[in-house]
Structure formats: structure tokens, C-alpha cells
Structure 1
Amino acid sequence: MKDDIIETGKTEVLESGPFYHGTKADLQIGDLLTAGFRSNYHTEVIMNHIYFTALPNGAGLAAELAKGDGSGRVYIVEPTGVFENDPNVTDKKFPGNPTRSYRSKAPLKIIGEVTDWVRLTPEELQTWHDKLAKIRSNPEAKIIN
């Protein structure tokens, strides 16, 4: 699938999609997701980017960890502007982009919804919440915003 990948640098590989965003928000096709909201992981941080992934189950994990009421939702999204590898999980912290995660300052347009993503068991969800609590308590664990 080399045709589906755009090479933009030595270690940076950006894909052409499809892309997914996980949230608890009830959205409609055509809605735009924008930056400027509090981080799900460090609530004191207002995010300068909107995040997305090429992995539906990765977006599902984000949906289940998202703040808010309701069930997690995974939306198929289309970037409306330039985007980059998410430095929180790529070369600045980990080699490559194994999570196929990206971020953009431009909005993401909702173009569909995925309903068959893998949901976490209550035990797995608690494990993730415990991991996030540990990260939040570490003053050196900062979001690259």
C-alpha cells in the first residue's frame, strides 16, 4: 500500500487515511472537530491541536478514556489542513509512529462513524485509568503541545 503513504521526511511518514477520532461527543456527519479544548490526560492543558489516528481501535481507546458522559464513539474523520506525526507517541518520545497517531491545528471533518471497534473490558479500562493517574502524578510527564 505504498501509494497510500506520503513520505515527508527522513523518519516522518504521513498516511492518506482513512483516519479516526475517538470521543464521547455525539456528533453528526459534516461537524468539525477543533483544537482548543482541555486535554483528556492533563486537564490543566488546553490543546493546540486535534488528534487522530489511522487505527480504529486506537481511536476506540481514546473514546473510552475521553472525559464526559455517554458511550465512546469512533468517527471517521478527514483532515481539513496539514497534519503531523503526534510527537507525544512518536520520534520525540518513541521511535517511529507505531500508533499511527497524528495531530493538526486545522479542524477534522466528520465523514462517518465506526461501530465495530474493540471495546475495553471494565478491568482493562481501570488499568488504563490507573496508568493515566500515574502519568498525571509524574511532573516530568508533559504533553508536547
Structure 2
Amino acid sequence: MHNEPIPAGAGDPGPFYHGTKADLAPGELLEPGYSSNYGARTKANYVYLTATLDAATWGAELGEGEGPGRIYRVEPTGPIDNDPNLTDQRFPGNPTRSYRTKEPLRIIEEVLDWEPHPPEVLQNMRNHLEELKRQGVEAINE
């Protein structure tokens, strides 16, 4: 696999985003170790970030929890790796500019001007994820 760690900010200049349902404040840290938002909701060994608003939008819309989806601009505090759930195995390279890290992400600010996906596109993605779940396909968490 091509998941060599790259220093935070190197290779991809960002800015970086994280989509979630969590209500967070600037300065707070997002850390691994909580239940994953996807699949069997096992303990997440990583926290995820992306350099595209579209990928962050999916996280905000599909994440578990109550309340509205939110997108935050985040700053990695340590090395980041390509997210193997979205790179090479499923898409050549890293077109979604999606990454993961075992180190915390610092919340810089909430992004307020993002556009949600159209309802039919969101439902198609939910259907696709439900089918993957039915087939037993889980996110890579190692």
C-alpha cells in the first residue's frame, strides 16, 4: 500500500476539513478512540480529515448522531496518511484528498457556507453504504 505518513501540511497544503454531527469549538481537539461514525461503529484508531469540502460534506451528512451536520476547518497536530478506505483500493491515487491520523486534529473554525448534497444524491449514497454493510464490507481501521 502507498500509505506512507506525510508530515502535517507537507504534500497537500490544505486547508483541511472534518465533517461530523458533533458541536465543537475552536481550539478543541478531535482524537481517535471514539466510536466510528460508520460500519459497526467500533473504536476508531484514526481521526479523518480531507482537503475537499465535498468529502467533508459527506462526513457531515452521513455521520452518526443527532443535530445538523457540521464542517470544521482543522489542523493536524502530527503526521497524516492517505485514507486507505478511499485511496488505491477504491480510487487510484487520492482524488478526494482524504487522510487519516493517529494524532489529534485541532478545530480552527466552523465552516458555515457549505452546500449539502441534493436529497436524491444523499439517499443514493445511504443506499450504497447500506448495501456495503449488508455485504459485510467494513472500513479499514488498522
Fold similarity call, TM over 0.5: yes
- Structure 1 segment 95-134 matched on structure 2, within 5 A: 95-134=92-131
C-alpha displacement of 1:61: 1.3
C-alpha displacement of 1:123: 2.1
Q: RMSD across aligned C-alpha pairs, in angstroms? A: 1.7
C-alpha displacement of 1:116: 1.5
C-alpha displacement of 1:57: 2.0
Matched with 1:51 is 48
Unaligned runs of 5+ in 1: 1-7
Give the distance between the partners of 2:24 and 2:109, measured in 1 at CA. Answer: 10
CA shift digits 1:95-123 (9 cap, x unpaired): 10011000000000000121121202222
Whether the 8 Å contact between 1:14 and 1:84 is mirrored in structure 2 is no
2:78 to 60, 77, 81: 81
Give the distance between the partners of 1:19 and 1:58, measured in 2 at CA. Answer: 11
1:138 partnered with 2:135: yes
- For CA contacts below 8 A with separation 6 or more, give which structure has more relative contact order: 2
1:90 to 87, 91, 102: 87
TM-score normalized by the length of structure 2: 0.87
C-alpha displacement of 1:56: 1.3
CA shift digits 1:55-105 (9 cap, x unpaired): 012101110000111111100000001110001111233310011000000
Give the distance between the partners of 2:31 and 2:138, measured in 1 at CA. Answer: 21
Whether the 8 Å contact between 1:41 and 1:136 is mirrored in structure 2 is no
Q: Supply the AA of the counterpart residue of 1:42.
A: G
Give the distance between the partners of 1:55 and 1:114, measured in 2 at CA. Answer: 12
1:60 partnered with 2:24: no
Report the number of matched residues: 134
Q: Supply the AA of the counterpart residue of 2:138.
A: K
TM-score normalized by the length of structure 1: 0.85
Whether the 8 Å contact between 2:40 and 2:138 is mirrored in structure 1 is no
What SS is found at the alignment partner of 1:81?
coil
Unaligned runs of 5+ in 2: 1-5
Displaced runs of 4 or more, over 4 A: none
Percent identity (aligned): 51
CA shift digits 1:119-139 (9 cap, x unpaired): 022222221111110010112
